Amino acid sequence: MQFSLFGAAVAEPVLDDLDGVLLAGGHWARLGGTARLSIVVPDQWRADALAEAFAGRGVAEADRAVEAAQSGLSVRTAFSAALAPYAERWTRGANEAPPPGFGLSPGGLRLWAVAAGRTDDAGYVLGTAASDDPVHLAAGAQLARLGLTAVSLVQRPGPGWRITSAKRLRRLAEVVGDPLPGAGRDWPC
């Protein structure tokens, strides 16, 4: 497989990549001058990959990065001062919304696929938390910006965005890079 010059495989992991976790339904928590990012995922491979991604960006939770949750596995970073500006730029009052000038990185798209991507009979779906909020709309705009125009899904199997054409699916696989162990059918190829 050939990789794009701008794909996740060649990009250094940076904290901006965590934007992909927010598009997938992640949430910020704040404590003093620190912040923590968390998300609930349905599969162990996703939880392991996100915990590793957090560690690679220097914000891993030391003791309990992955814990059982009511609807899956909760994965979180440590409370970190390094994350406080990221939480600040994503927070509008009590709500989360993309910051002005938001641009998703290839690493962010990879983390979005890790957290909420899956193949279905019609293409590849990147899930979002809700279909009627600014995060969902920004997610679709970012896919289009990356050359991955997708269809908004409001009902089942959504909410999220479905990429359908063979050309766009190849582009998605190119940008997100090699599959992760355990991902199986839930990784674009």
Per-residue confidence band for 4, with pLDDT thresholds at 50, 70 and 90: very low
- Domains of the chain in sequence order: 15-180 (3.10.28.10)
pLDDT digits (tens, 9 = 90+) for 52-110: 999 999 999 888 889 999 999 999 999 999 999 999 999 988 888 999 999 999 999 99
Long-range contacts, stretch 133-142, CB < 8 angstroms, 24+ apart: 133/95, 133/97, 134/97, 134/98, 135/22, 135/23, 135/96, 135/97, 135/98, 136/160, 138/23, 138/97, 138/98, 138/102, 139/23, 139/112, 142/23, 142/102, 142/103, 142/104, 142/109
pLDDT digits (tens, 9 = 90+) for 115-155: 999 999 999 999 998 888 899 999 999 999 999 999 999 88
Q: What does the pLDDT read at residue 7?
A: 54
